A = this chain, B = another copy of it.
Amino acid sequence: MPPRFGPEFQDELTALLAWRRDVRHFRRDPLDEDTVAELMATAQLAPSVGNSQPWRFVRVRSAELRESLAAHADAEVVRAGEAMTDERRATYSSLKLHGMREAPEVIAVFCDDATPIGGGLGAATMPETRRFSVVLAIHTLWLAARAKGLGLGWVSVVKPDYIAGLLDVPQDWRLIALLCLGHPVEPDVVPELERRGWQARLDWRANVSER
State the Cβ distance, A42 to closest chain B Cβ, in Å.
Answer: 6
Assess whether A198 is in contact with B51, with CB atoms less than 8 Å apart. yes
What CA separation (Å) do A83 and B118 show in the bound complex?
14
Q: Interface residues of A: mostly helix, strand, loop or mixed?
A: mixed
By a CB distance below 8 angstroms, the chain B residues around A30 are: none
Assess whether A119 is in contact with B84, with CB atoms less than 8 Å apart. yes
By a CB distance below 8 angstroms, the chain B residues around A120 are: 80, 83-84
What CA separation (Å) do A18 and B43 show in the bound complex?
10
By a CB distance below 8 angstroms, the chain B residues around A191 are: 51
Assess whether B57 is in contact with A207, with CB atoms less than 8 Å apart. yes
Interface centre among A13, A49, A58, A187 (most CB of B within 10 A): A13
Which residues in window 185-211 of A have CB below 8 A to B?
A: 187-189, 191, 193-194, 198-205, 207-211
Assess whether B10 is in contact with A147, with CB atoms less than 8 Å apart. yes
What CA separation (Å) do A156 and B128 show in the bound complex?
10
Which residues in window 90-110 of A have CB below 8 A to B?
A: 92, 95, 97, 108
Interface centre among A17, A120, A149 (most CB of B within 10 A): A17
Contact of A17 among B144, B156, B187, B202 (CB under 8 A): B144
Assess whether A156 is in contact with B207, with CB atoms less than 8 Å apart. no
- Contacts A40-B205, A135-B136 known; list 9 others, CB within 8 Å: A2-B187, A3-B12, A50-B193, A52-B199, A53-B207, A83-B124, A139-B140, A143-B143, A167-B211
Residues of A that sit less than 8 Å from B by CB:
2-5, 9-10, 12-20, 22, 40-47, 49-53, 55-62, 65, 76, 79-80, 83-84, 88, 92, 95, 97, 108, 117-126, 128-129, 131-132, 135-136, 139-140, 142-144, 146-149, 154, 156-160, 167-168, 176-177, 187-189, 191, 193-194, 198-205, 207-211
